[in-house]
């Protein structure tokens, strides 16, 4: 049965690895749900966070293949229950909605909203939360004339106390 899995790979070479992972996904016909590349807690190392929707056997094989790449030090595979995950989104809405719609405040109240720009025609604000929460907020904002939005890839940490930095030590 297919479900969502998060793969976390640690590497020093981010440029070559993107191409190698893309080729692996293409060969296995796996759709990439999201990809996030960032610096991590280890100096000069990158953390690739890859989210796919696939069967456990396929993802386990993919994890082992990624670990065989010379540039990859370690690749972990986790399901949604084994990680803590969040996303960030930027929204652009007409400024007059902010000023004139009382129900707008009720929609955004549950979220930790940070206003990043308030202009005459539009207002940009940032929200973060779980993917379903962000999707629900986006749906609600369409009723208020949502102009534009952009959502980040999920970022995640393992729920267990283990980390790759501890394994290296």
Cβ contact 74:164 at 8 Å: yes
Domain limits, the chain: 3-83+158-168, 84-154
pLDDT for the residue numbered 136: 92
Q: Which CATH architecture has domain 3-83+158-168?
A: 2-Layer Sandwich (3.30)
Alpha helices by DSSP H, the chain = 14-28, 56-68, 95-100, 102-108, 131-142, 164-168
pLDDT for the residue numbered 36: 92
State the number of CA atoms in the 13 A half-sphere of 113 facing the CB: 17
Select from 3.40.50.11270, 3.40.50.300, 3.40.50.12280, 3.30.70.1150 the CATH code of 84-154: 3.30.70.1150
Name, in order, each residue with C-beta under 8 angstroms of 139's C-beta and a sequence gap of 6 or more.
none
Q: Could you list the pLDDT tens digit for every one of the 169 residues in the chain?
A: 999 999 999 998 777 888 888 999 999 999 899 999 999 888 889 999 999 999 999 999 999 999 988 788 999 999 989 999 999 999 999 999 888 877 888 888 888 889 999 999 999 999 999 999 999 999 999 999 999 999 999 998 888 776 776 666 5
| H/E stretch holding 146 | none
pLDDT for the residue numbered 166: 66
- Entry pTM: 0.82
């Amino acid at each position: 049965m297919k479900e969502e899995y998060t793969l976390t790979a640690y590497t020093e070479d981010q440029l070559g690895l993107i191409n190698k992972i893309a080729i692996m996904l293409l060969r296995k016909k796996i759709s990439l749900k999201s990809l996030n590349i960032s610096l991590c807690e280890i100096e000069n190392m990158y953390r690739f966070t890859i989210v796919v929707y696939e069967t456990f056997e396929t993802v386990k094989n993919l994890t082992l293949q990624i670990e065989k790449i010379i540039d990859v030090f370690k690749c972990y595979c986790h399901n949604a229950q084994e990680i803590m995950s969040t996303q960030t989104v930027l929204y652009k809405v007409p400024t007059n909605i902010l000023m004139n719609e009382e129900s707008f405040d009720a929609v955004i109240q549950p979220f930790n909203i940070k206003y990043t720009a308030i202009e005459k025609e539009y207002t940009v604000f940032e929200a973060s939360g779980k993917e379903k929460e962000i999707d629900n907020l986006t749906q609600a904002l369409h009723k208020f004339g949502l102009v534009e939005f952009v959502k980040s890839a999920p970022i995640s940490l393992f729920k267990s106390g283990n980390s790759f930095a501890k394994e290296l030590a």
